[in-house]
């Protein structure tokens, strides 16, 4: 017999009736399998619906599809990013601005942007699924989106740990490594931060170990220690720190990536921005990029963008008027325009 864990079934452990506090290991495993299967079915059917719609409308070689991954427990500080996906969606469609991107793409056109909903992370964790399997579920969910051509994933985090299973899925589905453009205040390349191999501070170590990225360019870095630099050298990472940004600007605004590999993946941690532009993050690091700096880098990037994520927005630290939610939403809008064609 095995005692049940995780939030959703802890009330059974507190029950005064002993028969409710333990169940067999086989029963737990069967229940977990059903929850995981149901979760993947949810994403599969939504992706199929959106894919059929885009194919019916025709004319799209690549179409962005949002996938939420509301995961926050791998954060080393605050876990508020788990609440970000619905806040970002709300800001995208709040009506305070029009539905056209800066480069003229119309977001209400399903060939530019669709949404397959969220991976039900909390329900999966509530039934006792561990992080090894959860990461696999996230990867499989991304692959389900990619199976419905011409859909390409734009993932809403969530803390930065989600980038590992997402990039892994994109690379495996496309059959080879991608070039990764990573905008962040931190390199997130610790070997195993605080003993957690899936920590949001270790995601890019896992990506590079797995061979899922050929080139990794990290931009906006301004909180990095000895290990971060050593890990960067170990994996051949191109780290662009904010202290030299004025010198590096010309290079970063003329990037050409993805040649000879399966495309380009863009990962944006909202704290790449100076907190004056995005205060609603868990780790506030002054001296960051301006919002226009980020857009200039994105708009000028040459390459086939096959996927992206926006992570580490923490609604619990945002201003009362949702300033950072709007910032994250505009990042999503401009990324959708970059992916869709």
200 is in an annotated binding site: no
Q: Return the structure tokens found at 163.
A: 């980038």
Mark out the alpha helices in 58-120 (DSSP H runs): 84-92
Is residue 131 within 8 A of residue 286, CB to CB? The reply is no
Structure tokens, 39? 């979760």
CB-CB contact of 135 with 165 (8 Å): yes
Q: Find the Cα–Cα–Cα–Cα dihedral 13, 15, 19, 23, rounded to 10°.
A: -30
Residue 131 in marked binding region: no
Can you tell me the distance from the alpha carbon of 162 to that of 252, in angstroms, rounded to the nearest whole number? Answer: 25
132 is in an annotated binding site: no
Is 188 flagged in the annotation as binding? yes
Please give the torsion angle defined by the CA atoms of residues 181, 185, 187 and 188, in that order, rounded to the nearest 10 degrees: -100
115 is in an annotated binding site: no
**Phi, psi of 5, deg, nearest 5:** -115, -170
Does 184 carry a binding-site annotation?
yes
Say which residue the tokens 């990095």 belong to: 224
- Residues annotated in a binding site for Mn(2+): 160, 184, 186, 188, 269, 271
- Residues annotated in a binding site: 160, 184, 186, 188, 269, 271
């Amino acid at each position: 017999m095995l005692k049940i864990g995780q939030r959703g079934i802890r009330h059974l452990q507190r029950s005064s009736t002993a028969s409710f506090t333990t169940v067999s290991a086989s029963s737990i495993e069967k229940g977990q399998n059903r929850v995981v299967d149901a979760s993947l079915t949810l994403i599969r059917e939504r992706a199929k619906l959106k894919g059929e719609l885009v194919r019916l409308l025709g004319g799209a070689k690549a179409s962005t599809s949002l996938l939420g991954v509301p995961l926050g427990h791998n954060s080393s500080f605050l876990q508020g990013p788990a609440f970000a996906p619905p806040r970002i969606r709300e800001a995208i469609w709040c009506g305070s601005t029009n539905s056209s991107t800066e480069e003229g793409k119309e977001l209400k056109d399903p060939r530019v942007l669709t949404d397959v909903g969220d991976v039900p992370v909390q329900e999966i964790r509530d039934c006792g699924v561990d992080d090894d399997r959860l990461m696999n579920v996230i990867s499989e969910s991304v692959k389900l989106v990619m199976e419905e051509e011409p859909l390409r994933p734009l993932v809403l985090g969530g803390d930065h740990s989600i980038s590992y299973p997402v990039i892994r899925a994109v690379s495996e589905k496309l059959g080879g490594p991608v070039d990764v453009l990573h905008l962040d205040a931190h390199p997130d390349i610790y070997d195993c931060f605080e003993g957690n191999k899936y920590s949001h501070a270790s995601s890019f170590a896992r990506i590079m170990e797995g061979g899922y990225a050929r080139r990794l360019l990290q931009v906006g870095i301004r909180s990095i220690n000895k290990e971060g630099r050593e890990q960067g050298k170990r994996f051949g990472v191109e780290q662009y720190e904010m202290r030299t940004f004025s010198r590096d600007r010309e290079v970063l605004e003329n990037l050409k990536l993805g040649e000879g590999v399966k495309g380009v993946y863009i990962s944006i941690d909202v704290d790449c921005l100076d907190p004056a532009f995005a205060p609603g993050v868990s780790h506030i690091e002054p001296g960051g990029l301006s919002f226009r700096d980020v857009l200039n880098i994105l708009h000028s990037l040459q390459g086939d963008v096959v996927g992206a994520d926006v992570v580490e927005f923490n609604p619990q630290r945002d201003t009362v008027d949702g300033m950072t939610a709007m910032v994250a939403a505009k990042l999503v809008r401009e990324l959708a325009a970059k992916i869709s064609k």
